Structure 1
Amino acid sequence: MRRACLLRYAATAGLGLAALLAPAPGFAKGPVSVADIAEGLQDAVVNISTTQTLKERNGSPPGRKGPKTSPFDELFDDFFDEEGPDGSPRKVSSLGSGFVIDPSGLIVTNNHVIEGADEIIVNFTDGSKLKVIKILGHDPETDLALLQVKPRKPLKAITFGDSSILRVGDWVMAIGNPFGLGGSLTVGVVSAVKRDINAGPYDNFIQTDAAINRGNSGGPLFNMDGQVVGVNTAIISPTGGSIGIGFAVPSNTAVRVLNQLKEFGETRRGWLGVHVQNVTDEMASTLGLEEPMGALVASVAPEGPAGSAGIKPRDVILDFGGQSIRNMRDLPRAVANGTVGADVLLKVLRDGELLDLTVTLGRLPASEDDEAIETEDSDGVKELLGLTIEPLTADLRAKFEISGTVDGVVVTAVDPDSPAAKKRIEVGDVIVEVTQEAVHRPEEVVARLRAVEKSGRRKILFLLANADGDLRLVNVPIS
């Protein structure tokens, strides 16, 4: 009897244990799998390998805009760096990602992945390789490039989705080539949209916590419908690896740029011809605004579209073609996306009165491709190469006792660990010329620096003046 009772207890206990071990129905297989979506996409995601010859023995490849520890790290990965004898050329090979958008052989990647490359090879998931026969176009401002290969048979291609409907919290998926590990997939959410990381005048990034690393650059960011909603471009990483903060160019921006690259081999951005700044709290009431908003016109190019339309300094542009301008950064994006030659209605606040003006949008000249509209902080302060630089105002001239014969941009702070500090640039020094061109505003210094970076040079030449006007030349390393 007792034995029967024990057996009965054991059976009951066994059933209880089985019940405890059985997974709850809702968590039987974990979160919903993305395997079915990914299976149809991986063949269209490719690895991009490039090779280029550098004549300079020291320095990083032209495609890299900063050291590996820079905060806004690129995702492009050097995997082979062979140095020849002193002064001899060396070859650098690099890996990135890309994706097919047309079965006939059109492939998207980042501009910095292929910039300066002597040879570009596209590697597919089945092990096949194709050499890029033509770079149809590239755009440094959005960091996009369109490549052409000649396949033996139609390629698997993927389509773009609408990035404008993305919301914070939406699930996204990245596929790419991190650290040379092709076909890697990660999943995360949209952390933010319309993110400005000060990479350029058209910043409008999608931020995601989907793990992306070096080598993912140029790869696609997908929505859960398997459509490309972004092109992975940059990460914040003090370590060089993913810390969950990555950035992608929105698909709507990419499609517009890629269509122009395909048709014209270049981008054709709108041009307004104004120099703008933010409206501060102090300015708002003076300008007749209840709160700081809009883009304040600081100057107008006399023969530019804005000048012809009657836009004047001190005007506040509040709306461009139906797009609300909340701050100065909104305007360059809106203008760049406009159609060259089109008439656009602007809402402008002038002396407290709201005006409607019509401007015929011009085309941004190629020589001004750094930015369609110059922008600056309200005080004009810029930071670069460890230097804080500001316009040489009367107050700063008096503060640093700078001679009235000196003109340029004044250094107001120096990072003691920066290359500039090692070159003995000091607070109170005035940058008179950059690469033998006179400068009068901080943004002119920035523009010269960008031009030097794009040329592939590793140093930038400053002509400096001290407070007494004594001049000296200083060659400052860029990275």
Structure 2
Amino acid sequence: MLLKMTPFLIALLLNSAPVTAAPVAPPSMPDLVEKTLPGVVNISSTTVVNYEVFGMDEFLRFWGIPQERKHTSLGSGLLIDKDGYVITNNHVVDQATEVLVTLLDKRQFRARIVGKDQKIDIALLQIQDEKRRVPSDLLPVPLGNSDAVRIAEPVFAVGNPFGLQHTVTMGIISAKNRTIGQGPFDNFLQTDASINPGNSGGPLFDMKGEVIGINTVIYSRTGQSGGLGFAIPVNEAKEMIPDLKRYGRVPRPWLGLLAERMTPQIQVYYRLSVDKGVLVYNIVQNAPADDAGLKQGDIITALNGTAVAEPNDLERALAKHRPSDSVKLSIRRGLRKLELKVKLEELPKLDRVHQGII
């Protein structure tokens, strides 16, 4: 029996779109990926961990039980120029005693850590051969413009998930400027391209084959991809490269204070004069804030005229300046409005300051 096709049914069939679980690759996708793969590297870092058991040191030494163990972690990275410089995440190589980089053609090189930044989670490496020379036939990947990325734009990730070298996955940009509680500089690109342990430090590409992000974090209840991956915008990494090459770090200024966000509840409880701003509750002795005359209980409302409503706002505004710059803090002290000039200094190493210090 033949089914009679009415005009309505024909229109319905023609307008019905198939449901797909993932973006469909354009015809040129294999060629595009093939061009990018040589610029993506796999990273293996070794860290020596010392185990100390109270009261057991002599026993362990007597029986020859090692108190040092090597821990190996895997990650990804990307070649950014023919001088052998590689960008990856800081957590991939943090405290590593040895870093090995493997290229697409299976050649392996030792890498030196040129510089790293814990705040943004970026590290810069340089690969060298046994004679400490940079290989001459490297194929770096182009760095794009992450500011121009649009939500729903198709992207693909390349990396080393679970040690599976140069794995390619596709998705879209799900969101921009994501804050996920990693720190004051959260500004992630969110993607549903499959990202797993081992992808850290690897590139997120647009459909021009340009790097727009550095894959860094996943949100998952299982430790595997749940369609919520987060990448550092490549523009942030590009801004840091000159400092990492020159200083081995990103010189950041600090005020030397601990603070919390003002709320109406805090205002009522302490009978304060304003309900918005950054409430200072501790100050490091001889730090820039202390030298400028800041006191516990002061409420910072602006830095150089830029309003701040919470500690992250203050730290982001501060990061736009260099150590040795001077800034103006607008504060409320009781019923008085004050402006203090602060001479900035470089933030000490993070292992020497209290967590959360600004």
Q: TM-score, normalised by structure 1?
A: 0.59
Match of 2:204 among 221, 235, 241: 221
Counterpart residue number, 1:50: 45
SS of the counterpart of 1:210? coil
* Pick aligned residue for 2:279 from 257, 281, 296: 296
Q: Which residue of 334, 343, 352 maps to 2:317? A: 334
The residue identity in structure 1 corresponding to 2:179 is: R
Query: Over aligned residue pairs, what C-alpha RMSD do you find?
Result: 3.8
1:341-380 → structure 2 map (5 Å cutoff): 341-351=324-334, 354-366=337-349, 374=357
CA contact (8 A) 2:262 2:309 kept: no
Structure 2 residue runs without a partner (length 5+): 54-63, 129-133
Residues 1:135 and 2:113 are matched in the alignment: yes
CA contact (8 A) 2:155 2:173 kept: yes
Aligned partner of residue 374 in structure 1, secondary structure: coil
Deviates more, 1:259-268 or 1:354-363: 354-363
Q: How does 1:236-275 map to 2 (within 5 A)?
A: 236-275=219-258
CA distance in structure 2 between the partners assigned to 1:251 and 1:268 by the alignment:
19
Secondary structure (helix, strand or coil) at the match of 2:158 reads strand
> How many angstroms apart in 1 are the aligned matches of 2:286 and 2:70?
47
Task: Give how far 1:263 is off.
Answer: 0.5
1:130 shift after superposition: 2.2
1:113 to 82, 92, 98: 92
Q: Which residue of 2 aligns with 1:446?
A: none
Question: Would you say the 8 A contact 1:135–1:148 is kept in 2?
Answer: yes
Match of 1:40 among 31, 35, 39: 35
Give the AA of the match of 2:226.
I
Pick closer, same or farther for the CA change 1:91–1:297 going to 2, 3 Å: closer
Q: 1:373 to 1:114 in 2, by over 3 A?
A: closer
- C-alpha separation in 1, matches of 2:159 and 2:92: 13
Counterpart contact for 2:197–2:224, Cα < 8 Å:
yes
Shift of residue 178 of structure 1?
A: 0.9
**1: CA distance, partners of 2:355 / 2:304:** 16
The AA in structure 2 aligned to 1:193 is: N
- Distance in 2 (alpha carbons) for counterparts of 1:347 and 1:243: 44
Contact 1:96/1:216 (CA < 8 Å) preserved in 2?
Answer: yes
Q: Residues 51 and 331 (structure 1 numbering): CA distance in 2 closer, same or farther, change over 3 Å?
A: same
Distance 1:54 1:372 in 2: 23
How far apart are the structure 2 equivalents of 1:208 and 1:342?
A: 37
| Unmatched segments (≥5 aa) in structure 1 | 1-8, 59-84, 376-479
Deviation at 1:270, TM superposition (A): 0.5
Q: Is contact 2:261-2:309 (8 Å) kept?
A: no
Secondary structure in 2 aligned to 1:174? strand
2:79 corresponds to: 100
Take 1:130 and 1:176, find their aligned partners in 2: how far apart are those partners? 17
Given the alignment of the two structures, is residue 191 of structure 1 paired with residue 175 of structure 2, yes or no?
yes
Contact 1:300 1:307 in 2 (8 A): yes
Q: One-letter code of the match for 2:202?
A: G
Cα distance between partner residues in 2 of 1:161 and 1:265: 24
* Segment of structure 1 superposing worse, 351-360 or 138-147: 351-360
The 3-state SS of whatever aligns with 1:146 is: strand
Q: Secondary structure at the match of 2:80?
A: strand
**What corresponds to 1:147 in structure 2?**
125
Deviations 1:96-116 (A, max 9, x none): 100111211000112222234
CA distance in 2, matches of 1:223, 1:325: 34
Does the residue aligned with 2:260 lie in a helix, a strand or coil? strand
How far does the alpha carbon of each residue in 1:260-305 deviate from its partner, in whole angstroms, 9 at most, with x for none?
221111231101122211112223465444xx53311223335322
**Pair 154,270 (structure 1): closer, same or farther in 2 beyond 3 Å:** farther
Aligned to 2:156: 173
Matched residue SS, 1:117: coil
Match of 2:59 in 1: none
